[in-house]
Structure 1
């Protein structure tokens, strides 16, 4: 199969994993990950002709990657929304070009507990894959989702302040980081010594995918509404600590995984 772009993405759908090789389809999915859009809005953002865009949307909808619903005030208009979740991206633009050998040498002289060793092991996997054009951050976010759902049972509280305090106690217990609530509006959380990026080299991009996924689940359950989580500061970007802004959303995604891989 000929590739139509220099990268591919793996999405999970209720029918199974789908590998997207079309640049236009990945653009559409990326837009819908941000928010639901009408046909004309997608048309303006992609710059495609109406027949071409209609074909792409039909393929994505037929494969279970997106859905659509009629506008309650104008039945002629369709609102499109995403049903899938990205897991992996392969791209020549992802490469970090980190010297792993020297990185390990420097880190091994500073390791002083098992948590740091396992955190280094996790980072080494990410760096190796990134050096070869493979981004697994979406997968790690999903792993964080499962961790956060389980963690919520240990830290839950009807009060947001108490919830964050319980999260701090939980992470301190495992020496995985130090959490504090910075603001309630917008909800902003700071993490110092986060195990994901402690002693991290400066890559220029956020690194705390597992924390992001965990926060998504914890605060979605807490607020009884899906949330977005944005990492606005990260040690991997050269900041002194990591911080996240959490906002409520109205979107819901439910992904039982089954089936075989399909190329689209």
Structure 2
């Protein structure tokens, strides 16, 4: 939780609640760190008691928080979070989403370019509207890698990596290379459309994680774990994947 979010969506026992009030979101952020008294909320938020009181009443009516009494002093009250943050909008991703919308509207896009822009528009549109697609994208990527794995011919790691490099380059998904350090590292330069991404402080290529993971695991009958540690989304000029066997 943080102040860079415009809207946050919470799940409660009564349903889904969307909030965009900075004061309410600040209160929920404070409560996410643990139970907090009224006076502590006033002090940490920097708002007047009357303001915090009004927002607490609203949050309680929305079933986002609960008010409780201290066992040793019924006159003193504290508040606890009664909800879970499900999603939040992020302005940098909304800007990126709008850029893809602009690109997809260009009439001279050819078929392959249109499909590529369609994928990225949907992917970043989902995140721009507040839903984190990374876990699901990795699962789907793993399913794809498992399904296309039988099309690879080699039955050893070195051979599969050579085929993977050729596959990645052939489909213009970036220039893949492999280096061996303390661990096996896969690098992708000119990653498809990632070089235009702003630095967002997080990795973005979860579907590539899944595809590589699915291909290696299905071909070699081992449980591989692929983790992206560098990305254009983290301010780097390439994508870096660490390969490990679980």
TM-score above 0.5: yes
Which residues in structure 2 correspond to 1:1-264 (within 5 Å)? 7=10, 90-92=86-88, 96-99=92-95, 100-102=97-99, 104-105=101-102, 114-183=111-180, 185-195=182-192, 197-249=194-246
Assess, with a 3 A threshold, how the Cα gap between structure 1 residues 198 and 156 changes in structure 2: closer, same or farther: farther
Say if 2:104 and 2:118, in contact at 8 Å, map to a contact too. Answer: no
Tell me how far 1:221 sits from its aligned partner: 2.6
Map of 2:53 onto structure 1: none
What whole-Å deviation, never above 9, does each CA across 1:120-149 have from its counterpart, x for those lacking one?
A: 222222222222211112221111112111
Question: How far is the alpha carbon of 1:173 from its aligned partner?
Answer: 2.1
1:223/1:214 Cα in 2 relative to 1: closer, same or farther (>3 Å)?
same
Q: 1:224 to 1:94 in 2, by over 3 A?
A: farther
Contact 2:145 2:214 in 1 (8 A): yes
The structure with the larger Rg is: 2
Which has the higher relative contact order, 1 or 2, with Cα contacts under 8 A spaced 6 or more apart?
Answer: 1
Deviations 1:176-229 (A, max 9, x none): 222111116411101122336242233221111111111221222344221221
CA RMSD of aligned residues (A): 3.4
> Relative to total residues, which structure has the larger helix share, 1 or 2?
2
Residues 1:115 and 1:240: Cα distance change in structure 2 (over 3 Å)? farther
Q: Which runs of 5+ in 1 are unaligned?
A: 9-20, 22-46, 48-88, 250-264
